[in-house]
Amino acid sequence: MTISPHGGILKDLIARDAPIKAQLEESAKTLPSLELTERQLCDLELLSNGGFSPLEGFMTKEDYSSVVNSDRLANGLVWTIPVCLDTNLDHLKKIFNTNENNEILGKKLVLVDPRNGSNLAIIKIKDLYSVDKEEEAIKVFGTKSTHHPAVDYLFNQTGDIYIGGDIQIINPVSHEDFQEIRFTPAQVREKFEKDGFERVVAFQTRNPMHRAHHELTLRAGEKVNAKILVHPVVGMTKPGDVDYITRVKVYKIIMEYYKPNTAFLSLLPLAMRMAGPKEAVWHAIIRKNYGASHIIVGRDHAGPGKDIDGKDFYGPYEAQEFIEQYEDELEIKPVRFSMLAYLPDENRYEEIDKLEKGAKTLNISGTELRNMLKTGEDIPEWFSYPHVVSVLKSEYAKLQKAQA
């Protein structure tokens, strides 16, 4: 375990279990196995590398119930999103060749990477429990509407039983792409210490970055006198989002516009839940584990968009208000911003909440941008950098060709 320069303990399970790797590999040969889903694979990676500290495994019923009902783990620490290993009971009984739940408790199960069959971890089953999914939806996401992507996932893809228990890591989750910017929390902290990044403000994003996003990070850094951690999500995001490979190409270009030794890019293998206010707190905890002292919380942070009636699931600044009640406990400070709009007459960006009444502004929505890419319309330089636009146009053309 490593002490964070900004407080807290980093529970790096990969490092903890490395000395017994051979023993765990040998043990795994005799154990039944479970292939993980895409979300579970993301969750396991952040459990194993310390991104989900203080968790050391998938939640037991006690922790799950406490999180859903009080936004805290059973030990009282703030935690707002359930991290659970779901499966179907019939499948689990088949794996263990039993019809009795109590014969499964206390047994061990190997967690397998579905992409390559690699044994990743061993979980000792402490708990098997079913949940009220409607209650989870309402208390965590604030809605039962399946127009919310996480609620749709909960109702239509999540298994009927949750497995709780601590894990031991055999092999870390591996990736073939962008290895040069995939860093664990311990590696990011080491980088900050080496480069003298004493105060760091993290920027969460699941979209391509344009000029307004770059400006937002610069303002946040100046506001709290901090370096910048550009920390985009490359795990599961909202269906229909720009694919992470295209986005990473954009992030690498954006990094060229920061002054030397002022910003750092690292990819985050998080499976987002799009839970708005509760996700904002979760994002803060994760970024604290990566060594950040501050996190940008913007307008509609981690919001999933609109419901069936065209109304946003969460208020524009609900996340900022929600995180405020936990600020003293999180060991990381939120930096609040409203959306930036472009002032053409002044050739600058400004927060919409600070604009004078009637001010002339320009903005391009995500939908408008997609239509401009589709039609080949020129995208103005005030909105994005030419190299970024070039990448987006190229990748969009490939997508259109593949779908033709």
Residues with active-site annotation: 205-207
Could you tell me the two tokens for 354?
A: 């600070």
The CA distances from residue 214 to 18, 276, 277, 311, 340, in Å, are 39, 22, 23, 28, 11
User: Contact 31/119 with Cβ under 8 angstroms?
Assistant: no
Helical H segments across 238-365, by residue range? 244-254, 277-289, 318-324, 327-330
**What DSSP assignment string belongs to 17-58?**
HGGGHHHHHHHHTTS-EEEPPHHHHHHHHHHHHTTTTT--EE
The amino acid that residue 334 corresponds to is P
Cis, bond preceding 82 (omega within 30 deg of 0): no
Residue 153 C-alpha from the chain's centroid: 16
Residues whose CB is less than 8 angstroms from the CB of residue 269 and which lie 6 or more positions away in sequence, other chains included: 42, 45, 46, 173, 175, 182, 234, 235
Is-contact 352 339, C-beta < 8 A? yes
